[in-house]
Amino acid sequence: MPLVTTKELLLDAQANGYAVGAFNVENMEMVQAVAAAAEELRSPVIMQTTPSTVRYAGLDYFYANVRAAAEKAGVPIVMHLDHGSSYELAMQAYRTGYTSIMIDGSHGNFEENIEVSRAVANACHPSGIPVEAELGKVGGKEDDLEAGEGNPYTDPDEAARFVELTKVDSLAVAIGTAHGVYKGIPKLDVERLSEIRQAVSIPLVLHGTSGVPDETVQECIRRGICKVNYATDLRIAFTKGVRSVFDTDPDTIDPKKYNAAGREQVKQYVMEKIKVCMSQNRA
C-alpha cells in the first residue's frame, strides 16, 4: 500500500491503549527487516532516519527504499524524519515525500523551540503531513546530536502551552530516557508522564528506548505513550548478524551473505518490540 502518515495511526494507538514502534533504518536490509516483521505480525510501523543517516546517503535514497517496501506491504508504513535538526532539513524531507516530520527544537530555549516547531507545523499541515516536536531534553547522544544544557525533564504546564502555541500533532517528552547505550538500568519518571498526559491531548512519544526494560516501556504506554522509538539496538542487532557470518567464515566476501544475517537479526528484534508495543494485529 502507499506510505501513510502517523496522524491516524497514533490517534488509534492513543484510543486503544497500544503504541506504534518507530525504527531507525540505516540501509536497505534494515528497511526490509522492519517491513518483514510488520507483515508477519500484522502491525503498523514507522521507519525513520536521523540527520546523520540522511547525510550518509540522502533523503531520496532512504525515501525510495521505504516507499518500495511500503508498496509491497499489506500493512501501514510511515516514512518519518527523526530529530529534524533545522527548519531547512524538515522542509527538504517534506518535499522529498516523507509522510511524517519531526522538528527537534529542544536544543534551543523554550521560545526558540516554539518558533521553529510552529513554523514547521504551519508548512506541513496544509498537505496533511503531521509534525512531531520535542520538549525537554532526552539525554545522551542521537548520532552526532548532543542533548545540550537545560532542564532535562518535560514540564507538564510548559507542555500544555507548547502544544497550544505550535499546533504540533505529537510530542516527544523527556522523562529520564537517553539516546545511545545505557550504563545501567534507566529510571523513568512515570508519574511525570501521567501529569503530561493530563496536561495535553495529543499523542506522546518516547525516545531513547533501546535498553529500557520492556515492562517499563509498557507502563509508559499505559500512561499515554503512543509512539516508541528504537535506534541503537537495531544497529547492535544488525552488527551481531554480520559478525556471526565472519565468525563462522572469515573469508566470506559476498555482502549478500553477511547483510542477510544482519537483516534477520533486525527482523527478530523488531518483532520482539512490536509485541512490547502491543501493536500486533492492529494493521
| 153 assigned binding-site residue | no
| 15 assigned binding-site residue | no
| 184 assigned binding-site residue | no
| 229 assigned binding-site residue | yes
| 209 assigned binding-site residue | yes
| 83 assigned binding-site residue | yes
Is 143 an annotated catalytic residue?
no
Cβ neighbors of 224 (< 8 A, separation 6 or more) are: 14, 193, 194, 196, 197, 204
Active-site position among 12, 60, 82, 189? 82
For 133, the grid coordinates are 516536536
Distance, CA of 168 to CA of 130 (rounded, Å): 7
| 244 assigned binding-site residue | no
Distance, CA of 162 to CA of 170 (rounded, Å): 11
Cα–Cα distances (Å) from 283 to 68, 146, 274, in that order, read 18, 35, 12
The owner of cell 540527520 is 51
| 207 assigned binding-site residue | yes
- Can you name the residues that pair with 225 across neighbouring β-strands? 204
Binding site per annotation, positions: 83, 104, 134, 179-180, 207-210, 229-232
Binding-site members for dihydroxyacetone phosphate are 180, 208-210, 229-232
Active site residues: 82
